[in-house]
Amino acid sequence: MSESAIPTVLIDNDRARVTEWRFPPGAATGWHRHDYDYVVVPQTTGPLKLVGPGGEESEAQLTTGQPYFRNVGVEHDVINPNPFEFVFVEVELK
């Protein structure tokens, strides 16, 4: 069983939730569905492995400081395939 990514909620109010995610090497979020639109701001540069609803695998290349936006409803597991810790900040828009 892989190690779990470590979420730290920094802000949680009626408009937004901001969470710092830390992924030790090999760590995963576990399967989840996003209930809100969200923005991710990478704090580390490198790839993350994504596993979709049908088990399909893909890789996302993230770059420190380069944010991206996703709509509500995304379903996946996110895994750190790197030999180093990977960090990003997720901003969910309620």
Average pLDDT over residues 27-38: 97
**Do the Cβ atoms of 77 and 28 come closer than 8 Å?**
yes
Tally of structural domains, the chain: 1
Range of the domain at 86: 6-93
Q: How do residues 35-67 score in pLDDT, each as one tens digit? A: 999 999 999 999 999 999 999 999 999 999 999
Q: Does position 1 have pLDDT exceeding 60, yes or no?
A: no
Q: Is the pLDDT at 70 greater than 70, yes or no?
A: yes
Q: Where residue 72 sits, what CATH number does that domain have?
A: 2.60.120.10
Q: What is the rounded average pLDDT for all residues in the chain?
A: 97
Question: Does residue 1 belong to any structural domain of this protein?
Answer: no
* pTM, two decimal places: 0.94
The per-residue DSSP string of 7-75 comes to EEEEEESSSEEEEEEEE-TT-B--SEE-SSEEEEEESS-EEEEEE-TTS-EEEEEE-TT--EEE-TT-E
Q: In whole angstroms, how large is the CA radius of gyration of the chain? A: 13
Record the tokens describing residue 55, joined without a space. Answer: 């088990």
